[in-house]
Amino acid sequence: MASKTWQEIARAAREHRDRSIAEVKPPLPEIRSEDLPLNVTAIPWKHLSSFEIELTETSPEKLVKSLASGELTSTEVTNAFLRRAGIAQKLTNCITELLPSRALARAAYLDSYLSTHKTPIGPLHGLPISVKEHVGMQGLGQNAGFVSWWDHTAPEDAHLLQLLWNAGCVFYARTTQPQTLMHLETSNNLYGETVNPYNTSLTAGGSSGGEGALLGMRGSCLGVGSDIGGSIRSPAANNGVYGLRPTSGRLPASGFAATMMGQEHVLPVMGPLSTTLEGCKLFMRTIIDQKPWLKEPSLVPVPWQMNDQARFGAKNGKKKLSVGVLWNDGVVKPHPPITRALKEVVETLNTVPDIEIVDWKPYKHDLAWEIIASLYFADGAKEEKEAIAASGEPWRPLSHFIITENQYCKELTVPEVWNLTAQREKYREEYAQLWNETAVDGDPDTVVDVILCPVGPGAAPPLDHARYWGYTAQWNLLDYPALVFPVSTVDQHKDVVEKDYDPMNDQDRWNYELYAPDKYVDAPVSLQLVGRRFDDEKIIEALEFMKETARI
Amino acid sequence: MASKTWQEIARAAREHRDRSIAEVKPPLPEIRSEDLPLNVTAIPWKHLSSFEIELTETSPEKLVKSLASGELTSTEVTNAFLRRAGIAQKLTNCITELLPSRALARAAYLDSYLSTHKTPIGPLHGLPISVKEHVGMQGLGQNAGFVSWWDHTAPEDAHLLQLLWNAGCVFYARTTQPQTLMHLETSNNLYGETVNPYNTSLTAGGSSGGEGALLGMRGSCLGVGSDIGGSIRSPAANNGVYGLRPTSGRLPASGFAATMMGQEHVLPVMGPLSTTLEGCKLFMRTIIDQKPWLKEPSLVPVPWQMNDQARFGAKNGKKKLSVGVLWNDGVVKPHPPITRALKEVVETLNTVPDIEIVDWKPYKHDLAWEIIASLYFADGAKEEKEAIAASGEPWRPLSHFIITENQYCKELTVPEVWNLTAQREKYREEYAQLWNETAVDGDPDTVVDVILCPVGPGAAPPLDHARYWGYTAQWNLLDYPALVFPVSTVDQHKDVVEKDYDPMNDQDRWNYELYAPDKYVDAPVSLQLVGRRFDDEKIIEALEFMKETARI
């Protein structure tokens, strides 16, 4: 590597990517960027067959049924997603490589398996799944956004991928991530920036931004992301798809490449992004049903337990769904489209007798950020600095933001880390107490079930402007499961700038001044449902109940 | 404190303890140490009424029944245990203070409650429970074995104690622990050494050695200990009682005093010691049924689930119990009484068709020790050194052993801790793989259920000689639940020195040379059952099944 400049390595990375896309058959068209609208989500329709469009716009839960019955072949489904992913790359720059030959070989094997055995190999039989690049695939690159890591390869498939594979999936696409993996955007010096398919002047979010953009383009229906501060949820929200950050210890967390391996102060997790809520459920159930804790003993043997009957509602003989609404975290006020969407959802929920809405008051979210931001880089980001310096690549703006400009990024001693960890536990206990105190007359069944809140301080911002992590990192600090779902898009008429707003602080002012509706044309608006630790199933059931009763 | 010498503080501590014991009514006799045999377990019979003897020798499960029915009053049970604990102190030096007035007030309240409501307040109604000193009781001292901490007091009851209290127990005795809490014995400069009731020239074990000796004396039937390297199991084994080190995350772990608060590299846990296996079960169920995770969010919401029907055996329509026997950890060979007891148990188990015995080969237990011993004191034991230096008290021999003489005790940087943590996880995954590989023909139902092994390299050693932690710390590193149960006592005829043994290494030689049967007269011999993470219930059920089928 030493003999190559970072630019040469980046060129090699892009050529490798482009060659992999060029293998897709039939060949994909050239797309001239100067002819494109800001919203490129409809472009694939011009270049794909109607069958390909239909396949790639089918939900994962429906695809697995058709694949299991033999109504569809994995080969045709995989090829359709390969082609749409190739187009998505040309429009949003979300791919690090496609895997056409191995994916189609796998698909052919699965098709043959089904035809021989008359039964699918597993619950994901034949389903194409996209994967964020730093999640290891044996023998393939694993650069985690650093130019100097371009020649790193994974010794084996990540445990999570092994289990998806056992369940019958097809890996066909690997997706982009930012330098350091620690941006809520996706910008690195190997591939450049991943942009938002709804408005290419905006970010796809990050760090699983390649997944977000690919799913937004419907070049994937189910993908693997990772999240230590919002990295599944930001791209899910920005691209109008579903994303789940599970409680740590439920899904395998080994086998990805990143700095700071072995740090446990803030646990990174992997999880699904999907075009449907059912896709996220399918993902979770498929993994957890395989008892991943037997191989990866840091995981907790809690089975996946969705209630067969609804968990909520009088007609099910159950309690009301109690929703705490966090309008504003007390640090940075969300932009008008977010607050408007939240209001609309709450108004609708308020019409449902089986749903109870209460205000959820923010509790020291600034302190939460101070703790987690101190714990993110307890070595003072030494490893990140070295990994960047090793190739001579420039620092991307948001790497600067989260490391150099981050007042909490300091090299700590071991006792300082212990002290911060103790503070983290104290804060977690205080937040737990807030939940406990919502019990009416001491009846624990009456506590708030879920918190409904923004996913960020706005919709997808212009590139290099995702500078506030509080609405997602808050729940990482607490290790709460959090589910992102699409609600709306920015409305040029309704979502006007709030006049005469008096910002609470500098961060709030910065965010306030960032907003103008015309910068955010077509941007998806999403919201987040948050539960207590290990309430992964409950937040999904809550959203299902809200969809069923309030049609949100 | 600065104005007092450590000797003056120690004197004050002993006087405080003695005053608390002097409050017990009727007053306890003077016991002249020069008249005592080495085995003092029978001495209480001379000084207690037959009713007091009967009460204190009743199992906790039977006591709670009689207390709940009103057949016994908490006042009489508590007073009997107070008196026997006071005698135990005079014989083994296991108490830091008795709590006669608050315990009897609590007992009187509970007696009155039962008489008014005709129903017990909770599943431990009226049961006296002893507690290791460093587990906080509001307003009471919490010295953790350091002279300089003598004036520290707990701001509130530890969460675990709150839950025991909710269940109706009576706290009446607080027990000794060693300087630093990091010995497998119990020796400190406030109170001196806690000795073994079966042979007072031997150690009671540690660090929950006060609990061990008190239970061995039947001055308690159920007590609270803590364990980060064997601290529940060593004293349980040395004193012939039961002790359970649960998987971390199942029982509350907050509210105890110790150095290194906030360190998570090796999680300390609290757990029960009891004169019966049922006592340990009662403890676990009582705590976990109260959903401690709602208040302490680091805990995992795994309910306590004992199978109503037996988990093993053809007559229950279940699988065989598969027991892996670890005879020797490959580092230090156990003394003859341990191996003899293990052989006897295995021979008996072999007669049971529903039990299958396989050899469990040790896997790099020396590496396991290297990792855990490095992680114990990642600050180079800075805090321990300061806490000792603050009063000028001398270092106890085993503090020297585990800190100064411990080649792995070094001040580490944060990245070094991450690296060791990653090594720990790798080792855990490799050990998990060993379990998985015991599956016959890939059937996961056939894997080894439990490992049966020594608790230490010998029975309770002479004072200041507990220098090998491997047989217990191994399972802390792996975070496996481990249950200690009494099996035998050292037999002067059977347990002869093994001639011509060629030690494997210096540690092994040291341990080999330590043994002579006449040093270990009457010492209890115990064994340990170990399960995979979260198999707490399973190891208890396995021991129950072994007891039922093989009468061990």
Spatial distance between the Cα atoms of A133 and A211, rounded to a whole number of angstroms: 10
A302 touches B302 (CB < 8 A): yes
Q: How many interchain CB pairs under 8 A, A with B?
A: 122
Angstrom CA distances, A112 to A108, A116, A126, A368, B102, stand at 6, 6, 11, 53, 76
Q: Please tell me the predicted confidence (pLDDT) of residue A35.
A: 85
Tokens for B252? Answer: 């509350």
Judge whether A76 is closer than 8 Å to chain B, CB to CB: no
Which residues of B are known binding-site members for substrate? Answer: 181, 207, 228-231
Q: Which residues of A are catalytic?
A: 132, 207, 231
C-beta atoms of A295 and B433 within 8 A: yes
Chain B residues closer than 8 Å to A428 by CB: 297-298
Judge whether A479 is closer than 8 Å to chain B, CB to CB: yes
Q: Please tell me the predicted confidence (pLDDT) of residue B35.
A: 85
Q: What is the pLDDT of residues B334-391, one digit of tens each?
A: 999 999 999 999 999 999 999 999 999 999 999 999 999 999 999 999 999 999 999 9
| ipTM tops the 0.90 cut | yes
Nearest CA in chain A to B533: A297
How far is A38 from chain B, CA to nearest CA, in Å? Answer: 44
Judge whether B383 is closer than 8 Å to chain A, CB to CB: yes
How far is A422 from chain B, CA to nearest CA, in Å? Answer: 4
Nearest CA in chain A to B382: A415
Mean pLDDT of A22-51: 95
Spatial distance between the Cα atoms of B522 and B197, rounded to a whole number of angstroms: 10
C-beta atoms of A300 and B534 within 8 A: yes
> Is A141 within any annotated ligand binding site?
no
C-beta atoms of A415 and B379 within 8 A: yes
Judge whether B379 is closer than 8 Å to chain A, CB to CB: yes
How far is A379 from chain B, CA to nearest CA, in Å? Answer: 6
Mean pLDDT of A35-42: 96
pLDDT at B309 over 80: no
Mean pLDDT of B95-114: 98
Judge whether A305 is closer than 8 Å to chain B, CB to CB: no
Judge whether A301 is closer than 8 Å to chain B, CB to CB: yes
Of B383, B390, B387, B399, the residue nearest B5 (C-alpha): B390
pLDDT at B445 over 90: no
Question: How far is C-alpha B458 from the geometric centre of its chain's CA atoms?
Answer: 16
C-beta atoms of B436 and A295 within 8 A: yes
Spatial distance between the Cα atoms of B9 and B176, rounded to a whole number of angstroms: 16
Give the number of residues written for chain A.
552
Judge whether A295 is closer than 8 Å to chain B, CB to CB: yes
Chain A residues closer than 8 Å to B421 by CB: 262-264
How far is A536 from chain B, CA to nearest CA, in Å? Answer: 12
Q: Report the interhelical angle of A74-92 vs A209-216 (nearest 10°).
A: 110
Burial class of residue A502 (count of CB atoms within 10 Å of its CB; 0-12, 13-18, 19+): exposed
| Mean pLDDT value across chain B | 97
Of A360, A448, A269, the residue nearest B294 (C-alpha): A448
C-beta atoms of B432 and A296 within 8 A: yes
Mean pLDDT of A93-118: 98
Spatial distance between the Cα atoms of B5 and B48, rounded to a whole number of angstroms: 38
Spatial distance between the Cα atoms of B517 and B491, rounded to a whole number of angstroms: 7
Q: Please tell me the predicted confidence (pLDDT) of residue B310.
A: 82
Q: Please tell me the predicted confidence (pLDDT) of residue B200.
A: 98
Among A residues 398-417, those touching chain B with beta carbons less than 8 Å apart: 411-415, 417
Judge whether A500 is closer than 8 Å to chain B, CB to CB: no
Spatial distance between the Cα atoms of B129 and B171, rounded to a whole number of angstroms: 5
C-beta atoms of A300 and B249 within 8 A: yes
Q: What is the pLDDT of residues B222-271, one digit of tens each?
A: 999 999 999 999 999 999 999 999 999 999 999 999 998 999 999 999 99
Helix (H) or strand (E) holding B106: helix B100-117
Q: Please tell me the predicted confidence (pLDDT) of residue A1.
A: 47
How far is A265 from chain B, CA to nearest CA, in Å? Answer: 8
Q: Closest partner residue to A432 among B294, B378, B425, by Cβ?
A: B294
Q: What is the pLDDT of residues A145-188, one digit of tens each?
A: 999 999 999 999 999 999 999 999 999 999 999 999 999 999 99
Judge whether B267 is closer than 8 Å to chain A, CB to CB: no
Q: Please tell me the predicted confidence (pLDDT) of residue B2.
A: 55
Mean pLDDT of B403-415: 97
Q: Closest partner residue to A428 among B298, B420, B444, by Cβ?
A: B298
C-beta atoms of B297 and A263 within 8 A: no
pLDDT at A443 over 90: no
> Is A168 within any annotated ligand binding site?
no
Per DSSP, which regions of A260-336 are E strands? 269-274, 321-325
Spatial distance between the Cα atoms of A530 and B226, rounded to a whole number of angstroms: 34
What is the bridge-based pairing of β-strands A450-454 and A355-359? unpaired
Chain B residues closer than 8 Å to A382 by CB: 415
Q: Please tell me the predicted confidence (pLDDT) of residue B433.
A: 97
Mean pLDDT of A445-449: 92
C-beta atoms of A421 and B262 within 8 A: yes
Q: Closest partner residue to B412 among A295, A414, A533, by Cβ?
A: A414
A148 touches A383 (CB < 8 A): no
C-beta atoms of B262 and A425 within 8 A: yes
**What predicted TM-score, i.e. pTM, was given to this entire model?**
0.97
Spatial distance between the Cα atoms of B336 and B326, rounded to a whole number of angstroms: 15
Mean pLDDT of B441-467: 95
Spatial distance between the Cα atoms of B48 and B45, rounded to a whole number of angstroms: 6
C-beta atoms of B436 and A294 within 8 A: yes
Judge whether A434 is closer than 8 Å to chain B, CB to CB: no
Please report, rounded to a whole number, the percentage of residues in chain A having pLDDT higher than 90: 95
Spatial distance between the Cα atoms of B278 and A160, rounded to a whole number of angstroms: 40
Angstrom CA distances, B274 to B181, B232, B425, stand at 20, 11, 32
pLDDT at A382 over 50: yes
C-beta atoms of B383 and A298 within 8 A: no
Q: Closest partner residue to B418 among A249, A263, A297, by Cβ?
A: A263
Q: Closest partner residue to A533 among B297, B420, B444, by Cβ?
A: B297
Nearest CA in chain A to B410: A414
Spatial distance between the Cα atoms of A429 and A81, rounded to a whole number of angstroms: 45
Spatial distance between the Cα atoms of A208 and A56, rounded to a whole number of angstroms: 20
Chain B residues closer than 8 Å to A420 by CB: 262
Domain annotation for chain B: domains and CATH numbers: 6-28+44-242+266-294 (3.90.1300.10), 314-550 (3.90.1300.10)
Spatial distance between the Cα atoms of B376 and A287, rounded to a whole number of angstroms: 34
Q: If DSSP codes are grouped into helix, strand and coil, which group holds residue B464?
A: coil
Chain A residues closer than 8 Å to B368 by CB: none
Nearest CA in chain A to B432: A295
A177 touches A145 (CB < 8 A): yes
How far is B15 from chain A, CA to nearest CA, in Å? Answer: 35
Nearest CA in chain A to B383: A415
Per DSSP, which regions of A133-186 are E strands? 170-175
Please report, rounded to a whole number, the percentage of residues in chain B having pLDDT higher than 90: 95
